[in-house]
Amino acid sequence: MRPYATLPALALLAACTVGPDYRTPPATAADAVARGTFVRAQDPALSSTPGLAHWWESLADPTLTGLVRDALAHNPDVDVAQARIREAMAQLRARQADQAPSVSASGTYVRGQISGLGGLTGGSDSDSGGNSSATSSLELYNLGLNASWEIDLFGGNRRQLEQSRATLGARHADLADVQVSLSAQVVQAYVNLRDVQARAALNARSIALQEQALGLMRQRFDRGAASALDLERLRAQLESTRAQAQPLQGDIDAYRDQLALLTGRSPGTLDAGLASPMAIPLPPAQVAIGDPAALIAHRPDIRAAERTLAASTAAIGVSEARRFPRLNFLGLLGLGGSSPGDAFDIDNLTAIAAPMLSWSFLDFGRGVAAVHQSEAQRDQAEAQYRKAVLAALQDAETSLSRFGHARLQLASLARAEQSAARSAALNDQRVTAGTSALIDQLDVERQRLNAAMALSEGTAALTNSYVAVQKSLGLGWTDAPAS
């Protein structure tokens, strides 16, 4: 039988790939997908149209947009995620290179002293009696190429390549997840900063009003028209309001430092640029949220879990292939002899080709145990995927519910602030007509400022709930590029 007659059989073996083939992730939350809408998406401001890319731009705040852009460009977490992508790409290229032969070049020079071969080689030494020495010199020069190639009989290398591609996809999804979380953190920190700045300004105005009211009460006390109890009550109220100013200033510094950290800067760098208070950005009138199927398909952490499941499935094939024989072809091509010129003489060509079959058929169950371990890891990855889907749906439903209730709360706070403003205007008319005291008007103004502070907190809560919706849906990011 001729040697090349075995090539078809080897080709058939090389086309064999052991282990399960990964098709699609397990069906999870089928009821939510079939329903086509989120249970908590009852607010009329929510629409099932696909979400917008760069959702923070819908808040129409150029300063905020610049901060998010800087964070995505300079945050260390983004750099870490990108480095992990490069690592996975390098691993993928290494797996691709494993499919090809490995070739190396070598040059060898050997010189030795061999005993007991006197007279068999040139260059023998003589002793004092004229007899031939028992030690001879031997020199060898060689230039050669060595090649090795493993035939992927049972698809172990192909499964490793498949595993590396899935891992690379998971790393891309991890980067998108970092971007989703980072953009949400920047927007929330910015919204909180603007809220605290607004409340600090309102608190300062309230302090000024209460100082004026305390002055008037002191005058009345001096004239005997007010009691010491009235005076102490206003003084305690003023000190309480003054005490609120310090935590507000501390929060302002903390949020500015947080924004500096998120954008890759040192604390204090953004203080000057964020010193002036600005209005709290509001979400758009209509918020696009898509549907549960879109969430499952595009949310980054779910994509990462799905790619991890694919990689774990391929790892089973890698473990299975190690249980079967391995076929390697070894080749040697060299020139050499006992003089330097022999290493360049084509007549001294030496060529060796040797197939080598190895099989650890008696491993006392190690191979089977490795397969079972890979299968258990695949089962863990599948459970983690189902958990990620369910947790994402729960996160989205909770965020949508809070967004709807935050809109209702803000409407009530706005009505309360408007009522307090009308009360202040009406009482001001009474003061002008002489039917109400100025100190009473100052108290009404203080109540209006308190209502305005509550409205500011409610506005920030609404925008932050909008941010939570965008984060929970993972909107605005495309799928990972094909490996």
**Domain extent listing, the chain:** 18-99+152-324+359-473, 102-118+134-151+326-358
Q: How far apart are CA 123 and CA 112, in angstroms?
A: 12
Contact predicate 217/226, CB 8 Å: yes
Strand partners, 326: 358
CATH of segment(s) 18-99+152-324+359-473: 1.20.1600.10
Q: Please provide the DSSP assignment of 277-305 as one string.
A: --PPP---SSEE---HHHHHHH-HHHHHH
First and final CA of the chain: distance in angstroms?
A: 44
Antiparallel, parallel or unpaired: β 46-47 and 349-358: unpaired
Looking at the domain that runs over 102-118+134-151+326-358, which CATH code has it been given?
2.20.200.10
Residues 183-240: tens digit of each pLDDT: 999 999 999 999 999 999 999 998 998 888 889 889 888 888 888 888 898 899 889 8
Q: What is the mean pLDDT of residues 76-95?
A: 95
Mean pLDDT of 255-259: 97
The identity of residue 337, as a single letter, is G
Mean pLDDT, to the nearest integer, of 232-258? 92
8 A C-beta contact, residue 92 and residue 161? yes
Q: Is-above-0.85 flag for pTM?
A: no
The whole-angstrom separation of Cα 18 and Cα 268 is: 59
pLDDT at position 4 over 50: no
Residue 319: name the closest of 376, 275, 281, 269 by CA. Answer: 376
Give residue 15's identity as a one-letter amino acid code. Answer: A
Q: What is the band of 97 on the pLDDT scale with cuts at 50, 70, 90? A: confident
Query: Which tens digit of pLDDT belongs to each residue from 8-62?
Result: 555 455 557 898 999 999 999 989 998 989 998 888 988 888 777 789 999 999 9
**Cα gap 44→430, rounded to integer Å:** 42
The 3-state DSSP composition of the chain as helix, strand, coil percent (nearest 5) reads: 60, 10, 25
**Of 140-149, 178-187, 238-247, 440-449, minimum mean pLDDT range:** 140-149
Residue type for 252, please? Answer: I
Residue 3 has pLDDT above 50, yes or no: no
Strand partners, 141: 109, 337
pLDDT band at 363 (very low <50, low <70, confident <90, very high): confident
